[in-house]
Amino acid sequence: MRLSSQFRKSPCLRCRLADVVRVRPNDKDAKMKYQECNKIVKQKAFERAIASDEMKRSVVDSLDIENMMIEDEYTGPKLEEGKVTMGFMKEMMECFKDQKKLHRKCAYQTEKITICGDTHGQFYDLLNIFELNGLPSETNPYVSCSVAVKRKTVTYFVDRGSFSLEVILTLFGFKLLLPDSFYLLRGNHETDNMNQMYGFEGEVKAKYTTQMFTLFSEVFQWLPLAQCINGKVLVMHGGLFSEDGVMLDDLRKIDRNRQPPDSGPMCDLLWSDPQPQNGRSVSKRGVSCQFGPDVTERFLDQNKLDYIVRSHEVKAEGYEVTHSGKCITVFSAPNYCDQMANKGAYIHLRGSDLKPEFHQFTAVPHPNVKPMAYANSLMQMGMM
């Protein structure tokens, strides 16, 4: 069944609300929430329609970072001569760990990059990954599928957790510190619709300003969509494609500086999921598709790749190997939303064959701030 354009723009929420309204047509509460959701989606569509890409001025142009004053009473981390150092990164992570805030001048300077990453807002579990696996360095490189690496693969995304801002600033900082050893990819939550629904927009506005969220939105549009490691392993957030014949060169040609379309390779890279049976089927998410082992095999053969690594789905053990070892899912947010009781995992890729080694870990304590604390009120009904 073909979904309408607006329906597909917010599949995680609108599909469920529409289902409830269909099954329970006399449920006034469900109708009210569905109408409110419609209103939000239409408002976003209107805002996009009236914004001319040619006339739109980047928020960066309106910033006067040089003249921003750091108050005398501020005792947090500061950039050293305008540069990110390992000392700054360690001090910033300790600052976030104590639930303190980085000065807005440092925050703006940290996010002025074109390649960056995404998280599920579980900052204390991110710190645990660095504790277990070592801080990023030239000899310990990371790539983010939302997070994959030349030798290590981890996965984070914005939204859902309530410390997304701390995670993304930490990742941005490491990208500035280690531009050739820290790689970040875009996930399906690095979009305006998802950020509004699931909490990242509300979190940034609560901790800083609307202007800063607008800048994040711009930066997310420049995130790479996939990473090819040594010509053998392709890393992305979602998965493979709704049609055969997609080549790596096609991915390089995608105009990614935009909000994702409703279909096509860019949409699929962010939204698709593997399935055990051959062929393709309609996605349970209401957007993109589910792809079988035969689809994976053909894509890898055509592009001379060994396997793919992706995220996008909670896994009880933190990872899952499917499609005869050709499709690996890794999920690095343990006890997702404080209720899934899943393990987290990351991967080491070693040797000339890049054989994956899986490392599992469990959730660590965090301050008593509930997941999705900044989400749209509709999303606090417990939907996922």
pLDDT in tens, 96-131: 999 999 998 888 875 334 222 234 668 888 899 888
Predicted local distance difference test score (pLDDT) of residue 189:
84
Q: What is the mean pLDDT of the chain?
A: 80
Q: Is pLDDT above 50 for 250?
A: yes
Tokens of 225: 């969509």
Q: Which residue has the higher pLDDT, 58 or 345?
A: 345
Q: Is pLDDT above 70 for 210?
A: yes
- Picking from 204, 254, 167, the residue whose alpha carbon sits closest to that of residue 59 is 204
- Picking from 219, 127, 230, 128, the residue whose alpha carbon sits closest to that of residue 170 is 127
Predicted local distance difference test score (pLDDT) of residue 335:
87
pTM here is 0.76
- Picking from 109, 334, 101, the residue whose alpha carbon sits closest to that of residue 203 is 101
- Picking from 344, 337, 339, 384, the residue whose alpha carbon sits closest to that of residue 363 is 344
Dihedrals φ, ψ of 363, to 5°?
A: -70, 150
Predicted local distance difference test score (pLDDT) of residue 373:
63
Name residue 140's beta-bridge partners: 137
pLDDT band at 45; cut points 50, 70, 90: low
pLDDT in tens, 279-310: 999 999 999 999 999 999 999 999 999 999 99
- Is residue 189 part of the annotated active site? The answer reads yes
pLDDT, mean of residues 344-350: 85
| Contact by Cβ (8 Å): 361, 334 | yes
Q: How far apart are CA 226 and CA 164, in angstroms?
A: 21
CATH 3.40.50.1000 fits 86-381, yes or no: no
Domain extent listing, the chain = 13-50, 86-381
The one catalytic residue among 103, 120, 189, 366? 189
